[in-house]
Homo-oligomer: A and B are copies of this chain.
């Protein structure tokens, strides 16, 4: 259910409404919008009726929400969600570029890549310290050591860190350093992890699972929002189909579909989506052209030596080339790359 109130409703009117919701064992979610203040309600749906709120002070309208997802839907919040960071933001007119290697491999390696990316104006560094791998015998990341190096990069280069939490156990440690906590595709329906992610303050980057329908992705995001963390960034990274010409089938169709059904920003990871470096640039361009709010790109100073996913990583040079092309596409769709100081055209 959704209660729409005057934007200028006095605090006491709002609190009265929220109190009534809590009294019925439901949870109120304040969602400020451009024209109205909405109070979303989640919890046992049978406990409340529209009549309970009609006629209350500052209440304009009370609506049933028809979709299975509530807080992530456009019905609840028509305006795009924009997530603000110090000196950056995700969503709206900004096009966010998150770049970096698959894994932190050593202090030297991560500083080398990060330094090169910073020179290109990149604000968000991606790199995994805890790596979920299909095989127990594959490189599983540098773990605590990796987080430590990322903290060093953050402090010394001033970059924002995007890194994955693969379980509830390591989430608190990661949340201390990460500006954005990533939840990977294989964990998209790890509901315990989603709930914990909903209880921290960090924005969450939620990757779509290999077999997740659009609605599954939104329901997983709903888990996070329902716990009080409204800063979720969705990420398309390829689904599993019969086609084997690419590692996965990057499903760009979901971008305009999500834009219609949800207010959350959605970015695209073409590196995992196609899995071969020479297809990354055209698919990144396509992603921006169809409305994505950002890109997540694997970049490595020496892809041929990478401990994981080297074949899908761009070199710094190829990445710079990609940025130039993306910049032009962005302008066609009225977006602007959110870069520190773009020096990519020389």
Contact = CB atoms under 8 A, between A and B. Distances in A.
Copies per complex of this chain: 4
B245 A254 contact: yes
Contact of A289 (B240, B246, B285): B285
Interface residues on A, range: 35 or more
Interface in A226-253: 226, 239-246, 249-253
A66 interface: no
Contacts of A193: 167
Interface in A263-280: 273-274, 278-279
Interface stretch (A81-89, A118-126, A131-139): A131-139
Interface stretch (A98-106, A213-221, A304-312): A213-221
Contact of A332 (B167, B241, B257, B332): B332
A135 to B, nearest CB: 5
A210 interface: yes
Nearest to A261: B245
A282 B274 contact: no
B283 A45 contact: no
Contact of A286 (B69, B244, B289): B289
A246 B214 CA distance: 10
A167 to B, nearest CB: 4
Contact of A192 (B167, B209, B278, B288): B167
Given A168-B167, A190-B186, A249-B251, A136 B226 contact: yes
A283 B333 CA distance: 13
A315 interface: no
A189 B192 contact: no
A276 to B, nearest CB: 9
A197 interface: no
The 4 lowest CB-CB distance pairs between A and B, nearest first, are A211-B211, A167-B192, A289-B289, A186-B189
23 contacts: A132-B189, A134-B189, A137-B226, A209-B211, A210-B211, A211-B239, A211-B240, A211-B242, A213-B242, A213-B243, A213-B245, A214-B245, A239-B242, A242-B242, A243-B253, A245-B254, A249-B251, A256-B283, A285-B289, A285-B333, A286-B287, A325-B332, A329-B329
